Amino acid sequence: MNTRRTAAGRIGLFIGVALMAIWSFFPIYWMVVSSLRPERDLFSAPTLIPKTFDRELASYHNLLWLTDYWQQFLNSLMVAGVVVAVSLVMSIIISYVISRYRVPGKSLIIGGMLYAYMFPPMLLAIPLLAIFARWQLADNLVGVIVAHCTMTIPLGVWLLWGFFKAMPMHLEEAAMVDGCTRVSAFFRVVLPLSLPGIVTVAIFSFLLSWTDYVFAFVLVSSDSLKTLPVGLASILGSFDARWGELMAGATLITLPLLIMFSLLSRYFIQGLAAGAVKG
Amino acid sequence: MQSFKTASDRRLLVVFVVCVGATLVLILGPALYAIQLSLYEAKTFVSPRTWVGLDNYARIIVDPAFWQALGTGLVFSISAIVLQVVLGIAFALLLNQAFPGRALMRGVAILPYLLPTVVIAITAQWLLDGSLGLWTHWAQDIGFGRPHWFENPVSAMTIVVLASVWTWTPFVAVCFLAALQTVPASLYEAARVDGAGAIMRFFHITLPMVAPMLLVVILLRSIWMFNKFDIVWLLTKGGPLNATEHLPILAYRKAFLQFDLGGGATVATLSFMLLSILLAIYFHFVPLDEKEARA
């Protein structure tokens, strides 16, 4: 690391960091600020720092009480919750057994998972809808949950496999010598030690499901079953663009992610560096 | 490594087989089904099908729309990847310097990557709105008139590319920053003693040291950018006049809007094949053992 820096170098660094911060943060700033202004002010010439704020938060009020927002919020929450639970259970079992037992075709399984993780959602969504249409699961949140699991289970197996492999096997063996069964050795020894990996998988499963647009857009058509991203996009599609409400909705979708990120940024960065968000 | 000996081991084996089986069916099923659909002619998802063999392929291969979509996809993904890699490296180099507030800046620089695509698309449309958008006003103030961003093919493509660059630059930055930490400081010290400047040090030490990682990142970005549906669809719907219509949008339009499910499945299958070439290269450069170490 460069410790002796010239004055010119310091100014250059400052300008570079400032530009980076503006580039990364300005659209987010503008989104939040626009959601807080009175809706009629959005029709006048914009100023960088708004002169008026809406004390009544009419944009939020309209969004929450005059649209299907709550229903869509519950849909999103329910889908993400089930997706997180299913992918955790499945990926823990798969990756644990693969890391501990002699499993034939091991690299084929892991390779298949990784291959699947690279698949683009639109290419999976078309055949999935065709299958769900046959099984009467079209326009049903179960279909969305299943579709999201095609992204989250391979991710979970990939991340957790690395975790379990790195954990010395003699820890559980010691516990089993002391009288634990394999299952209780797993819950008492392995699970607590691999908690960071499990938290990472839970976070990214939630993130993938919560932010997904493609699968929910293709698989669900009735208004009452839409998830938040699809619901928000359909406000945009209506004739009069209600920008205040749109910005309020965008801010509200982002908020849980920002809170999670500020509390758990260590896990986020760990997962990001492992390529956990496909995109 | 153990084999399945005791009764409880065997119970675990059963659970494991069920889990793996379910996952593989979940993932390979749709992929194989897409191939099957591409061999039939069907109007919608519920209408009856007729077997047509490879007719769909013969039809799509000579369809100029397919080649145009392929070209559009290449323009979109290559320009987006080049820009995000350059910008991502620049961000990583900045974030690797010591300055007050660095931890906060690292967080801020990652933010775009966490936002749902729909939020990015809607905010971009608000900034570019034809009459109320902030950037439209600015363009007007500096004398560009009132640009119709989404009605001009070049500016529509530029918007789609820049929105993608904005979103996925942090991925490159995070990976590059992690790789930078693995370059031994002694190399830089030695180069400095020999009188190498910052630019020399970057091209002769940093870049060669992180080149393998950079290759993997570029491959991953290519795999994902080439088939990105949502950001393009939400910003332009493939318009104006198909100027931003790439293969995923073509597949969607055929399957859902033009009542040509077989054609849509064919486009999807052809994209799978193109993608598999990229994936084969990826697996060639990143064997599974190495991934173990990374995860």
pLDDT tens digits along B126-177: 999 877 888 888 888 888 877 888 888 999 999 999 999 999 999 899 889 8
Domain assignment of residue A210, yes or no:
yes
Q: What is the domain count for chain B?
A: 1
Could you tell me which of B86, B65, B52 has the C-alpha nearest to residue B254? B65
Give residue B291's pLDDT: 47
- Listing DSSP states for chain A in one string gives ------HHHHHHHHHHHHHHHHHHHHHHHHHHHHHHS-GGGGGSPP-SS-S---TT-HHHHHHHHHSSHHHHHHHHHHHHHHHHHHHHHHHHHHHHHHHHB--TTHHHHHHHHHHHHHS-HHHHHHHHHHHHHHTT-TT-HHHHHHHHHHHHHHHHHHHHHHHHHHS-THHHHHHHHTT--HHHHIIIIIHHHTHHHHHHHHHHHHHHHHH--HHHHHH--SGGG--HHHHHHHHHHSSS--HHHHHHHHHHHHHHHHHHHHHSHHHHHHHHHTT-S--
CA dihedral B178, B183, B189, B191 (to 10 degrees): -120
d(CA B268, CA A123): 5
Give residue B293's pLDDT: 39
| Among B15, B22, B94, beta carbon nearest to A20 | B94
| Among A28, A253, A278, beta carbon nearest to B111 | A28
Question: Would the CB atoms of A101 and B3 count as touching at under 8 Å?
Answer: yes
Could you tell me which of A27, A35, A163, A31 has the C-alpha nearest to residue A91? A163
| Among A133, A150, A277, beta carbon nearest to B26 | A150
- Shared domain for A47 and A71, answered yes or no, is no
Domain assignment of residue A60, yes or no:
no
pLDDT one-digit tens code per residue, A98-138: 888 888 888 888 888 877 777 778 878 888 998 888 888 88
Domain assignment of residue B18, yes or no:
no
- Shared domain for A12 and A84, answered yes or no, is no
Give the domain CATH number at B180: 1.10.3720.10
- Per-window interface: A 215-274 vs B, CB < 8 A: 217-218, 229-230, 232-233, 236, 241, 243, 246-247, 250, 253-254, 257-258, 261-262, 265, 268-269, 272-274
| Among B109, B171, B282, beta carbon nearest to A24 | B109
d(CA A248, CA A73): 14
| Residue B101 near residue A14 (C-beta atoms within 8 A) | no
Does residue A236 or residue B22 have the better pLDDT? B22
- Per-window interface: A 22-41 vs B, CB < 8 A: 23-25, 27-28, 30-31, 34
Give the chain B residue nearest A88 (alpha carbons): B19
The answer, yes or no, to whether residue A1 has pLDDT greater than 60, is: no
Domain assignment of residue A61, yes or no:
no
Domain assignment of residue B26, yes or no:
no
Query: What ipTM does the predicted assembly reach?
Result: 0.87
| Residue B227 near residue B247 (C-beta atoms within 8 A) | yes
Domain assignment of residue B23, yes or no:
no
Domain assignment of residue A279, yes or no:
no
pLDDT category at A165 given cuts 50, 70, 90 is confident
- Shared domain for A77 and A203, answered yes or no, is yes
Domain assignment of residue B12, yes or no:
no
Could you tell me which of B284, B283, B166, B168 has the C-alpha nearest to residue B224? B168
- Shared domain for A117 and A252, answered yes or no, is yes
What is the rounded average pLDDT of the residues B178-195? 87
Give residue B280's pLDDT: 85
Give residue A4's pLDDT: 62
Question: Would the CB atoms of A13 and B124 count as touching at under 8 Å?
Answer: no
Q: Which residues contact B81 (CB under 8 A, 6 or more apart)?
A: B218, B221, B222, B225
Domain assignment of residue A278, yes or no:
no
- Shared domain for A92 and A128, answered yes or no, is yes
d(CA A253, CA B201): 43
Domain assignment of residue A115, yes or no:
yes
d(CA B112, CA B120): 8
- Shared domain for A21 and A140, answered yes or no, is no
Query: Which structural domain range is residue A257 located in?
Result: 67-273
Q: What is the domain count for chain A?
A: 2
Domain assignment of residue B8, yes or no:
no
Give residue B91's pLDDT: 95
Query: Which structural domain range is residue B163 located in?
Result: 57-294
Pick the residue of B81, B106, B118 with the most A CBs within 10 A to test the interface with A by mutation. Answer: B118
CA of B230: how far to CAs of A28, B39, B170, B194, B235, in Å?
Answer: 19, 27, 19, 50, 8
Give the domain CATH number at A194: 1.10.3720.10
Give residue B292's pLDDT: 42
Mean pLDDT lowest among A1-10, A156-165, A199-208, A269-278: A269-278
A16 and chain B: CB distance < 8 Å anywhere?
Answer: yes
- pTM across the whole model: 0.88
The answer, yes or no, to whether residue A245 has pLDDT greater than 70, is: yes
Distance from CA of B168 to the nearest CA of A (A): 7
Domain assignment of residue A196, yes or no:
yes
What is the rounded average pLDDT of the residues A190-212? 90
